[in-house]
Chain A
Amino acid sequence: DIQMTQSPSSLSASVGDRVTITCRASQSVNTYLNWYQQKPGKAPKLLIYGISNLQSGVPSRFSGSGSGTDFTLTISSLQPEDFATYYCQQSYIVRTFGQGTKVEVK
C-alpha cells in the first residue's frame, strides 16, 4: 500500500496568514492526489482534486501543487472559516489518506 505522510500534524495560525501543508507519498501517485477539509462533527469536503484542480465553489485562496511524491496545499490568506483539519488522499493504488493536519487559532 502507498503510505501518505502529512506535515505538520498541527499548526497554529492567525487570520490573514499564509498556510502551507505538505503531503508525501511513499511512491509516486501520478496525478491521483486530492485534498479534503473536515470540520468537527461534519463530513469531509473536497477542496482540490488531481493535485491542483479547485473543486467548484471552493474559494480561490486554496491552491494545490506538486508532483510525483511531494505535494502542497496552500491557503493564501487564512479566513476564520478555514480553521479545520485537512487530509490528503491518493487514489493511484487502492486509496489511502494522510493522517491529517489540524489548523488551529494562534
Chain B
Amino acid sequence: EVQLVESGGGLIQPGGSLRLSCAASGFTVSSNYMSWVRQAPGKGLEWVSIIYSSGSAYYADSVKGRFTISRDNSKNTLYLQMNSLRAEDTAVYYCARTTVDTALDYLDYWGQGTLVTVSS
C-alpha cells in the first residue's frame, strides 16, 4: 500500500528556516517523480516543487532560490528545505507522488499534510 507521511512543520519566525520530510512506503521515491504542493489557510492549491527520478528539480517562481527539494534514497524520504521564510509561506504542505507516462502527468498519491506557520 502506498503511503506518504509528512513531518517537520511548525511555527517559525520570518527569515527562519525549516526542513519538511515526507516518508514514503509502498514504492521507491528515487524511481518516481515527487512533488510538493501547498495550501494557504482558506485558499486553493499551489504547486511548489518537483524532483524527477533523474534528480532534476524545478520550482515555482514564488519559492525559487529559497526552497530546495531533495531526497534520501536510503531512507526512501523526500525533503523540502525552506529558507528565508515569509509570512506568505504559511500553508499546509503536501507531498505527492507524480506519475508520468506518455502525455500524462498527475499527482496520484498525497500525504496528509504538515502545517507551516511563519509568524513573529
Contacts and interface: CB of A to CB of B under 8 A. Distances in A.
Interface of A: 1, 30-32, 34, 36, 38, 42-46, 49-50, 53, 55, 87, 89, 91-92, 94-100
Contacts of B94: 43-44
Contacts of B104: 31-32, 49-50, 53
Interface of B: 35, 37, 44-47, 50, 58, 60-61, 94, 99, 103-108, 110-113
B45 A100 contact: yes
Contacts of A99: 44
Given A32-B105, A50-B104, A91-B105, A43 B110 contact: yes
Contact of A50 (B46, B106, B110, B111): B106
A31 B108 CA distance: 16
Contacts of A49: 99, 104, 106, 108
